[in-house]
Amino acid sequence: MKFKLSGKSIQAVVLGTLGILSFFIIWQLTCIFTKFGTIFPTPPEVAAGMIRGFIEPIGSVTLLGHIGISLGRVLVGYTLSSVLGTLVGLLMGASRLGKAILYPIFNIIKPIPGIAWIPIAIMWLGIGNATIYFIIFVGGFSQMVMNVMSGASNVDQELVGVARVLGLKKNHVFLTIILPSCVPYIFTGLQVSLSTSWMAVLAAEMITATSGCGWLILAGMQSGIMLNNVLGMIAIGFIGLVLATLMRMLERRLCSWKERN
């Protein structure tokens, strides 16, 4: 296998590492020389806490358990918002009647952030997973609808004509032309709504859960164990990064026709 490192990329790696190192050094020094250290763990303590967290439970489950629980909740809410958001977006983008009926009400609901729905959701669905799914769903849904709708209403009408001249039947236009034209827009929606969903699960867990990364952060603060708070934050950052990267890889595979090699 060939692996080439140009001068520029070596420089980038060195500088990047330098930045990360100085962050930890400043953190460590702050803990040693200021009052901050009396309640806040140092980097080595966090590292040790993380290893311990993977073995011993924090609250009901281990750190890995909390991550798994949050991911599971996101998966349910995100899948719901992706599927329904795509369908509604297609309906609004491809059908004039659909848009006429749905667009005004959608525009009223769209600016309300997912978190604002928490009290109503708790009243409707009680404290627990159903409410969390709902909050995640609300967060991702409008992002999805907006993107898919703009994709479906920007379909190149010339291509529809081209396809018809080539013999495509009218009732096949949707699946053969409109849907593939929308794929890049669907992916933009999936990407944006994934980060929204990940934020929504944390907010929801802080209020209505006894497990998950969001609960970890809040519980850490409330019980004065800042270590747990930091562990929750690290887990969130790491998972967010992994999810975004996975999504970008999938997009590169499915939308390769958009890019010039």
Partner 1 sequence: MEGKKLNGNESVVRLENLKKSFEINGEDVQIINGINLDIKKNEFIVLFGAGQCGKTTLLKMIAGLEDITDGNIYINDKKSSGFNEDVGMVYQTTALFPWLSVMGNVEFGPKHRGAAKSERRKKAQYYIDLVGLSGFEKHFPVQLSGGMQQRVGIARAYANDPEIILMDEPFGHLDAQTRYLMEEDVEKIWAREKRTVIFVTNNIEEALYLADRIIILTECPATVMKEYVIDLPRPRSMVSEEFLRLREEISRLADARESEAG
Let me know: does 229 contact 214? Beta carbons within 8 Å: no
Query: DSSP class of residue 259?
Result: S
> Between residue 155 and residue 174, which ones bind partner 1 under the rule CB under 8 A?
158-159, 161-169, 172
Least distance between partner 1 and beta carbon 87 (Å): 20
* Cα distances (Å, whole numbers) of residue 97 to 40, 106, 113, 156: 58, 14, 27, 20
* Cα 151 to Cα 4: distance, rounded to the nearest angstrom: 39
> Between residue 57 and residue 86, which ones bind partner 1 under the rule CB under 8 A?
none
Q: Which is nearer to partner 1, 90 or 177 (CB)?
A: 177
Least distance between partner 1 and beta carbon 177 (Å): 8
Least distance between partner 1 and beta carbon 5 (Å): 28
Token reading at 11: 């420089």
Q: Which is nearer to partner 1, 182 or 201 (CB)?
A: 182
Surface-to-core class of residue 102, CB atoms within 10 Å of its CB (0-12 exposed, 13-18 middle, 19+ buried):
middle
Token reading at 155: 């379909």
Maximum Cα–Cα distance for the chain, whole Å? 77
Residue 235's Cβ-side half-sphere holds a number of Cα atoms within 13 Å equal to 28
Binding mask 170-199 for partner 1 (x = CB under 8 A): --x---xx--xx-x----------------
> Between residue 21 and residue 40, which ones bind partner 1 under the rule CB under 8 A?
none
Least distance between partner 1 and beta carbon 167 (Å): 4
Of 6, 38, 171, 256, the residue at the interface with partner 1 (CB under 8 A) is 256
Interface with partner 1, residue 20, by CB under 8 A: no
Least distance between partner 1 and beta carbon 83 (Å): 21
Least distance between partner 1 and beta carbon 98 (Å): 24
Q: Work out the number of other CB atoms within 10 angstroms of the CB of residue 170.
A: 9
Beta bridge partner(s), residue 211: none
Least distance between partner 1 and beta carbon 138 (Å): 31
Q: Which is nearer to partner 1, 6 or 157 (CB)?
A: 157
* Cα 78 to Cα 120: distance, rounded to the nearest angstrom: 20
Token reading at 130: 């159903």
User: Which conformational region is residue 5 in: left (phi greater than 0), alpha (psi within -120 to 50 degrees), or beta?
Assistant: beta
Q: Which is nearer to partner 1, 56 or 158 (CB)?
A: 158
Let me know: does 152 contact 89? Beta carbons within 8 Å: yes
Q: Which is nearer to partner 1, 233 or 255 (CB)?
A: 255
Q: Which is nearer to partner 1, 38 or 261 (CB)?
A: 261
Q: Which residues are at the interface with partner 1 (CB under 8 A)?
A: 158-159, 161-169, 172, 176-177, 180-181, 183, 256-261
